[in-house]
Amino acid sequence: MKTTSMKKLLVAMTAAATLGTAGTSYAEDPIRIGGIYILSGSASTYGEFAQKGIDLAVSEINASGGILGRQVEMIYEDSQGKASVAIQAARKLVYSENADALVGLDSSGVAQGMVPTMPELQKPLIITHAATPDVTGKLCNPFTYRISVNVAQNMKAAALVAAETDATNWTTIGPDYAFGHQSWEFFGNYLKEIKPDVNLMSETNFPRFGAEDFTPFIDRVMNSDAEGVLISVWGGDLVNFIRQANTRGFFDKDMEVMFTVGAATEVLSALGEEMPEGVHLSTRYWYDAYDNEVNDRFVKAYVDAYGTAPSYNAEGAYAAIYAYKQAMEAAGTTEGSAVAAALSGMSMDAPNGKVTFRAGDHQAMVSPNWGVSGPMDSELGIRSLTNLQIFDGEKVARTIEETGCKL
Amino acid sequence: MSGIGAALLNSLDIGLLLFIIAVGLNIVFGVLNIINFAHGALYMLGAYLAFTLINLVGMPFWAALLLAPIGVAILAVIIDRVLLKFIYSRDVADSLLLTFAILLIINESVRVIWGSGIQVVQPPQLLSGSVELLGSSVSTYSLFVIVVGLLLLAGLWYLFNRTRVGRIMRAAALDRDMAEALCINTRMVVTGVFAFGAWLAAVGGVVAAPMRALDPGMGDKIIIESFIVVVIGGLGSFPGALLGAIILGLIHGFGGRYLPEVNLLLPFLGMALVLLFKPNGIMGKGATA
């Protein structure tokens, strides 16, 4: 009995020892980038979009000589949508997989938990999806950047759209965590600023994330005197929401309906014609909105590789890898703090135009897209976006003082 | 007033769907003494098989409702013969570990086979509209869910109280050794009960498919709800599953409409209250369960 457990202990120690030796790296080694996304469970489709975008960027970069003459290698970890798991994944990627840089994060909750550990790891992180303003606000730090649109930017744009409508009484339906609450908070504040006579209703609706049945909240809004409703429900929940809202006649009411993540291609293709016409839809990147060389190349390569139009999450992840290429080449090294420093204030050409990481808070000045759902695009089987507005990234961003970020 | 009618019907359709799933969980526990963590995954498999039969093969919904649960039940027989047979004589905790492993395997398989994207199944033509009832517009499909739930309820009651098969199942639940001594083939009963539980989960999945979007996490969502039902109603109890499911349905249906600020808290509050006063659930049996 005793000897066997001793043996096991020895085996474990030997295994642990070999882990340690993997710690040396050589200049000829590939550059390793760690990706932390939701790769299992409900929202894993978002992680897969990110992987598709990244894999495309990596194969393009490797085919044209790599970064600093070195090939790029991706290592992925599953965050499971949990902050604690993501933190562990980040430590594993940096300490035992020798990742030079990190990309990732699909959820605001995960981002809020993980970002404070980045200075400990001394490696740069580019967030490509999670939208909480806090990580480029009061939680900001020298190693954390975000290439995707945040809630504050998108809600400023939403408020500008809402201000153009006749609706005075506004309410919200959003998931009951950081994203839903912050969306409403920022939207309300901006809208009140632009149009002081609006009424932000005290009756708000925050169903559980993953609630499946949203009819109680749909009924509640229909029975209220709301004239406008901001809906930040997303992903599979949004598909459920819209189908249930259809059966209740929610969209027949004379109401301005704004979906803050409604023009996500995965939601549109799941819904097809069930997505109603005439509602306001936003996305952080609409593949058809940008007329530039990088976007043309990206959309074409993406459609060729995967057969569908790129989702916003694929675009952000794709661009993040190119951001690292540019930053590492500017710094002339892959050393963590040098690359992080190079990203600050850096401008690059991304599919969604010229993107600049603002030095004051490390938020990319990117443009939210808002449009109105129109006729079906028969080729892709999704609703088209009409009256498409591309908001100026600089103009919808908070000032550095407003972010509360001190770098 | 109209609001209450809508809330009531909504509570029933949520509750009866939960009943279909939770009752399978309870039957399996009652007879086999196994807490089947993979029950939600079997529900998901039912939904995905229905999606395949309806959207990809082009079968009508009704054929999928018949075939998909049978497919899942066959898989359950295999799971029982290959894996579960080793743990029936062991502690309940071991079954939890093994079925959790099965859950992970099924979840990942679904993701590999069907992809992680969001899928949608259309309700059959007959049930795709909505009707005016109790002063509000209700989708015909949610009425159908209520009807299926009630039919299964009646069928299960009949099975357990009026048929030989039901009596054998109850006998095996009460005392397996004695049942064996009375020449009941408990080995077959065990496999049959597990497959029947899986069949119920899959029926729930097919019925849920036209009103809830499919994704590889749908099984995890429903298993948590089902466990709440079981805790409230009582583990292993057939009427407990009904009571727990209806209570949770009412919590969702009314809580979301009238107490939205605490809708997240309510199911757990209900669970805590029950645990405080009836630690074995409202219909739970003594401490031996």
The string of pLDDT tens digits covering residues A310-363 is: 989 999 999 999 999 999 999 999 999 999 999 999 999 999 999 999 999 999
The answer to whether B256 contacts A40, with C-beta atoms less than 8 Å apart, is no
* A40 part of contact set with chain B, CB < 8 Å: yes
Cα A75 from Cα A79, distance rounded (Å) = 13
The answer to whether B263 contacts A43, with C-beta atoms less than 8 Å apart, is no
Instruction: Enumerate residues 6+ apart whose C-beta is below 8 A from A131.
Output: A108, A148, A149, A150, A151, A154, A179, A284
* Token pair recorded at residue A16: 């642990």
Nearest by CB to A239, which of B130, B142, B213?
A: B213
The answer to whether B218 contacts A42, with C-beta atoms less than 8 Å apart, is yes
A148-152, B3-7, B211-215, B240-244: the lowest-pLDDT one: B3-7
Residue of B nearest to A215 (CA): B10
* A244 part of contact set with chain B, CB < 8 Å: yes
Q: How confident is the model at residue A13 (pLDDT cuts 50, 70, 90)?
A: very low
Res A273 pLDDT > 60: yes
Which residues of chain B are at the A interface, by a Cβ-Cβ cutoff of 8 Å? 3, 6-7, 10, 14, 107-108, 111, 115-120, 130, 136-137, 139, 141-142, 211-213, 215-218, 220-221, 252-257, 260-261, 263-264
Model pLDDT for residues B118-150, shown as the tens digit of each residue: 999 999 999 988 888 877 778 899 999 999 999
Q: Across residues B219-224, what is the average pLDDT? A: 91
Q: Name which of A37, A39, A42 to mutate to probe chain B: the one with the most chain B Cβ atoms within 10 A of its Cβ.
A: A42
| b/e per residue B224-252 (b: at least 16 CB within 10 A) | ebbbbbbbbbbbbbbebbbbbbbbbbbbb
Percent of residues, chain A, with pLDDT higher than 90:
79
Q: Name which of A213, A248, A271 to mutate to probe chain B: the one with the most chain B Cβ atoms within 10 A of its Cβ.
A: A213
Model pLDDT for residues B59-76, shown as the tens digit of each residue: 999 999 999 999 999 999
pLDDT of residue B237: 85
pLDDT of residue A284: 87
Cα B176 from Cα B190, distance rounded (Å) = 10
Cα A117 from Cα A141, distance rounded (Å) = 10
Q: Across residues B113-119, what is the average pLDDT? A: 91
What are the chain B neighbours of A208 within 8 Å (beta carbons)? Answer: 263-264
Tell the residue number behind the tokens 């995905």, with chain if given.
B48
Cα B152 from Cα A157, distance rounded (Å) = 50
Closest CA relative to residue A86, chosen from A142, A146, A37? A37
Model pLDDT for residues B236-246, shown as the tens digit of each residue: 888 899 999 99
ipTM above 0.90, yes or no: no
- Residue A119's alpha-carbon distances to A87, A91, A364, B158, in angstroms, are 12, 12, 20, 65
- Report the Cα A370 to chain-centroid distance in Å: 16
- Report the Cα B86 to chain-centroid distance in Å: 24
Cα A182 from Cα A331, distance rounded (Å) = 36
Residue A36 has phi, psi (to 5 degrees) of -115, 105
Specify the number of domains making up chain B: 1
- Report the Cα B120 to chain-centroid distance in Å: 20
Closest CA relative to residue A100, chosen from A318, A319, A327? A327
What are the chain B neighbours of A216 within 8 Å (beta carbons)? Answer: 7, 10, 252-257, 260, 263
pLDDT of residue B182: 80
pLDDT of residue B170: 84
* A268 part of contact set with chain B, CB < 8 Å: no
* A241 part of contact set with chain B, CB < 8 Å: no
Cα A188 from Cα A182, distance rounded (Å) = 10
The answer to whether A217 contacts B116, with C-beta atoms less than 8 Å apart, is no
How close, in Å, is residue B105 to chain A by CA atoms? Answer: 12
Nearest by CB to A45, which of B7, B117, B260?
A: B117
Cα A341 from Cα A227, distance rounded (Å) = 47
Residue B15 domain-assigned (yes or no): yes
Residue of A nearest to B13 (CA): A213
The partner residues of A145 in beta bridges, in order of sequence, read A126
Instruction: Write the single-letter amino acid at A322.
Output: Y
Residue of B nearest to A220 (CA): B257
What are the chain A neighbours of B217 within 8 Å (beta carbons)? Answer: 41-44, 210, 236
Res B5 pLDDT > 60: yes
Say if CB A263 and CB A284 are below 8 A apart: no
The partner residues of A205 in beta bridges, in order of sequence, read A173
Q: How confident is the model at residue B113 (pLDDT cuts 50, 70, 90)?
A: very high
* A224 part of contact set with chain B, CB < 8 Å: no
What are the chain B neighbours of A240 within 8 Å (beta carbons)? Answer: 211-213
The answer to whether B256 contacts A217, with C-beta atoms less than 8 Å apart, is yes
pLDDT of residue A28: 66
What are the chain A neighbours of B223 within 8 Å (beta carbons)? Answer: none
The answer to whether A207 contacts B263, with C-beta atoms less than 8 Å apart, is yes
Residue B281 domain-assigned (yes or no): no
Residue B181 domain-assigned (yes or no): yes
Residue B56 domain-assigned (yes or no): yes
How close, in Å, is residue B175 to chain A by CA atoms? Answer: 37
Residue of B nearest to A173 (CA): B260
Model pLDDT for residues A379-407, shown as the tens digit of each residue: 888 999 999 999 998 889 999 999 999 88
Model pLDDT for residues B144-202, shown as the tens digit of each residue: 999 999 999 999 999 989 999 888 888 888 887 788 788 778 788 899 999 999 999 99
pLDDT of residue B288: 39
pLDDT of residue A8: 52
Q: What is the mean pLDDT of chain A?
A: 90
Nearest by CB to A40, which of B111, B130, B141?
A: B111
For B216, the domain range is 2-222
Instruction: Write the single-letter amino acid at A80.
Output: Q
Res B91 pLDDT > 90: no
Nearest by CB to B215, which of A208, A236, A271?
A: A236
pLDDT of residue B2: 57
How close, in Å, is residue A287 to chain B by CA atoms? Answer: 19
Residue B84 domain-assigned (yes or no): yes
The answer to whether B111 contacts A44, with C-beta atoms less than 8 Å apart, is yes
How close, in Å, is residue A278 to chain B by CA atoms? Answer: 22
* Token pair recorded at residue B138: 């209700």
Res A104 pLDDT > 90: yes
Model pLDDT for residues A50-95, shown as the tens digit of each residue: 999 999 999 999 999 999 999 999 999 999 989 999 999 999 999 9
Residue B173 domain-assigned (yes or no): yes
* A25 part of contact set with chain B, CB < 8 Å: no
Query: If 0-12 CB within 10 Å is exposed, 13-18 middle and 19+ buried, where does residue A202 land?
Result: exposed
pLDDT of residue A200: 96
Segment B99-105 long-range contacts (CB within 8 Å, at least 24 positions apart): B99/B34, B99/B35, B99/B36, B99/B37, B99/B38, B99/B39, B100/B37, B100/B38, B102/B37, B102/B38, B102/B41, B103/B37, B103/B38, B103/B40, B103/B41, B103/B219, B103/B223
The answer to whether B137 contacts A217, with C-beta atoms less than 8 Å apart, is no
Residue of A nearest to B265 (CA): A208
Q: What domains appear along chain A, each with residue ranges and CATH number?
A: 29-149+291-366 (3.40.50.2300), 152-283+368-396 (3.40.50.2300)
A19-28, A36-45, A307-316, B186-195: the lowest-pLDDT one: A19-28
Q: How confident is the model at residue A25 (pLDDT cuts 50, 70, 90)?
A: very low
Instruction: Write the single-letter amino acid at A401.
Output: E
Q: How confident is the model at residue A41 (pLDDT cuts 50, 70, 90)?
A: confident
Residue B246 domain-assigned (yes or no): no
| b/e per residue A4-22 (b: at least 16 CB within 10 A) | eeeeeeeeeeeeeeeeeee
Nearest by CB to B217, which of A41, A243, A272?
A: A41
Q: Across residues A170-199, what is the average pLDDT? A: 95
Q: Which residue has the higher pLDDT, B107 or A1?
A: B107
Q: What is the DSSP string of A298-313?
A: HHHHHHHHHSSPPPHH
pLDDT of residue A2: 43
SS3 breakdown of chain A: % helix, strand, coil, rounded to 5? Answer: 45, 20, 35
How close, in Å, is residue A258 to chain B by CA atoms? Answer: 21
Task: Record the pTM.
Answer: 0.87
Cα A188 from Cα A201, distance rounded (Å) = 10
Q: What is the DSSP string of A263-298?
A: T-HHHHHHHGGGSPTT-EEEES--TTS--SHHHHHH
Nearest by CB to A219, which of B3, B14, B215?
A: B3
Residue B151 domain-assigned (yes or no): yes
